[in-house]
Amino acid sequence: MAALDLNTVSAVIFDTDGVVTDSARVHAAAWKHVFDTFLTGRGGRPFDIREDYLRYVDGRPRHDGVRTFLASRGITLPEEAPPGTPSVRSLAEAKDALFLEQLERYGVAAFPGTVALLHDLRHRGARTAVVSASRNCSRVVTAAAVAHLFDVLVDGNDAARLGLPGKPDPALFLEAARRLGVAPERAAVVEDALPGVEAGRRGGFGLVVGVDRTGGGAAGLAAAGADIVVADLDELEVTGRVPVNTG
């Protein structure tokens, strides 16, 4: 069994969608609806939930996801345009509205293996953070009833306020480590997206865990920089304990 040793790392930083909450599929479905509607009549190949979502959208800020996916189809749009005219902003806003509608209607669940891991980590003295490029991170973890399991939350609102670039730049993870009061080499990153795994490696984190829930993505996650790849976080054994600071 893969191990996370708290004698080596004392904090763990989790990506949100697909790692903590089962919301990646809701994001992917919203993107497919928006992109396929846009591509209708333009002759573009439809959005593939498995390949296109993971390659071009997952883990990126919404506007970056729009640009990256459309570039894969040889399409460029203006950043903004008059109402009724497609733009990067209009597609991003349409996707966000659809995602929030689905979240409000159906809610979202946390993965049991992740919840169990969070309880174990905190019982052993580790600090935890949740990170997302989305501005809806707080709403998502609150809806999933896991917000109390994190010491720190860094999301798209923080990125906009602080001018932090999106993944694969490690800025979001580094900000989470800073708020946790831990050096990157003493923290682990848990990610399911290739840009997020790359960000963890580029940020110099002590351990990068890739989560491959769909199967078939382990080689890609390892190539992007994951030290360990698991299908679910219940496969990750926690060892050791973070010493109590009696200061």
The two tokens of residue 81 are 């345009």
List residues bridging with 128 in a β-sheet.
12
- H helical segments located in 60-193: 62-72, 88-106, 112-123, 137-143, 156-162, 171-180
194, 54 Cβ separation under 8 angstroms: yes
Q: How far is Cα 219 from Cα 93, in angstroms, rounded to an integer?
A: 33
Establish whether 192 is a catalytic residue.
Answer: no
Length of the chain: 247
Q: How far is Cα 112 from Cα 119, in angstroms, rounded to an integer?
A: 11
- Active-site annotation holder among 15, 64, 155, 212: 15
Establish whether 15 is a catalytic residue.
Answer: yes
Q: How far is Cα 60 from Cα 235, in angstroms, rounded to an integer?
A: 26
Q: How far is Cα 73 from Cα 76, in angstroms, rounded to an integer?
A: 9
Q: How far is Cα 145 from Cα 173, in angstroms, rounded to an integer?
A: 22
Residue appearing with tokens 């009549």: 41
- Active-site annotation holder among 5, 17, 58, 155: 17
Classify the phi-psi angles of 240: left when phi > 0, otherwise alpha if psi is within -120 to 50, otherwise beta.
Answer: left
Q: How far is Cα 186 from Cα 243, in angstroms, rounded to an integer?
A: 13
Query: What residues act catalytically?
Result: 15, 17
